[in-house]
Amino acid sequence: MLLGLRVEHRGEYWWAARLLVMGVLLAALPVPGIAASALQEGGEASAYNGVLHRAALIIDDVGETLHNGRRAVDLPGEVTIAVLPHTPYGRELAERAQQRGREVMLHLPMEAKNRANPGPGAVLLDMDEEEVRAAVRAALADVPHVRGVNNHMGSLVTRHPGHMQWVMEELAAAGDLYFIDSRTSARTVAQRIAAEQRLKNSARAYFLDPVRDGEVIDLQIQQFIAAAQREEGVIAIGHPYPETLERLERILPKLAQKGIELVPASALVDYPPKDPVEEMEP
Ligand SMILES: [Zn+2]
């Protein structure tokens, strides 16, 4: 239907026809403001019915590099910033995020199946209960302004109920924190045990950049947007790679036109994932 608007001016009746088509469109769309922006954007808003769905985008792995970390905090949209503990710039970037009104999470390192180094302060499988609890407390103490926690790596440790029990008990004892399962293993029990400890919780539905490849990132962003247009509460995770950041700088200001309201992760912790998601990270 919108194709008619792109036809070149070919006759004296064009303007009359154009006004007629616009009138029909404006009458058919429920929100006049959205209808106007839909016409400017070539009909992009036609993918949804005028209702804004809330979605969250967590940028994690923040803290190792200053430039990309700042760029993530300064993204033009309500992203949530998940900071690695015991990193060179973690505290500084958490402070910057707080000052700019961005929600801060602790990105808690946990051991992966491939035994890759998860970084300082990680929860490891061969730790005993006291060591796990101490690691969680130290990580929480290292990052200021933390409202919630997600796991960094962890495809090994998040499958172990005992370790997850100790982690979630410490998070529950620390106060009003939520937990979001990054779902690096299809066999993770982290979200279930967080729920048992009465932590507010949800899980990642999409990784925006499972590999640092522009075409893959474009596709993942499209899938996140399509899912968020279909349903409320979709959560994606991206990383502070230049390839990801440059795309988000362009796309985030247009999300509202696409029917998506970006909100802090804390606003969506009562929305568990509806679809099973695959294992995608260490
Ligand atoms: Zn991570």
Longest CA–CA separation in the chain, Å: 82
Compute the radius of gyration of the chain from its Cα atoms: 22
Domain extent, residue 170, equals: 53-268
Is residue 45 scored above 90 in pLDDT? no
Q: How far, in Å, is the centroid of ligand 1 from the Cα of 212?
A: 14
pLDDT tens digits, 98-143:
999 999 999 999 999 998 999 999 999 999 999 999 999 999 999 9
**CA 55 to CA 260: how far, in whole Å?**
7
Whether residues 115 and 23 fall in one domain: no
Q: How far, in Å, is the centroid of ligand 1 from the Cα of 167?
A: 17
Whether residues 108 and 169 fall in one domain: yes
Q: How far, in Å, is the centroid of ligand 1 from the Cα of 178?
A: 17
Is residue 29 scored above 60 in pLDDT? no
Whether residues 63 and 168 fall in one domain: yes
Specify the number of domains making up the chain: 2
User: Which of the given ranges, 42-46, 170-174, 270-274, has the highest pLDDT on average?
Assistant: 170-174
Q: Which of 37, 90, 9, 84 is nearest to 257 (CA)?
A: 37
Q: How far, in Å, is the centroid of ligand 1 from the Cα of 281?
A: 8
Q: Is residue 174 part of a domain?
A: yes
pLDDT tens digits, 86-104:
999 999 999 999 999 999 9
Do 144 and 154 meet the contact criterion of CB atoms below 8 Å apart?
no
pLDDT tens digits, 156-174:
999 999 999 999 999 999 9
pLDDT value of residue 56: 98
- Which of the two residues, 282 and 79, has the higher pLDDT score? 79
Whether residues 20 and 99 fall in one domain: no
Ion ligand 1 neighbours, Cβ < 5 Å: 60-61, 152
Whether residues 15 and 60 fall in one domain: no
Q: How far, in Å, is the centroid of ligand 1 from the Cα of 237?
A: 9
pTM of the model: 0.81
Is residue 16 scored above 90 in pLDDT? no
Residues forming beta bridges with residue 12, ordered by sequence position: none
- Nearest 5°: CA angle at 153, between 241 and 85? 75
Residues forming beta bridges with residue 57, ordered by sequence position: 236
Is residue 177 scored above 50 in pLDDT? yes
Helix (H) or strand (E) holding 109: strand 104-110
Is residue 4 scored above 90 in pLDDT? no
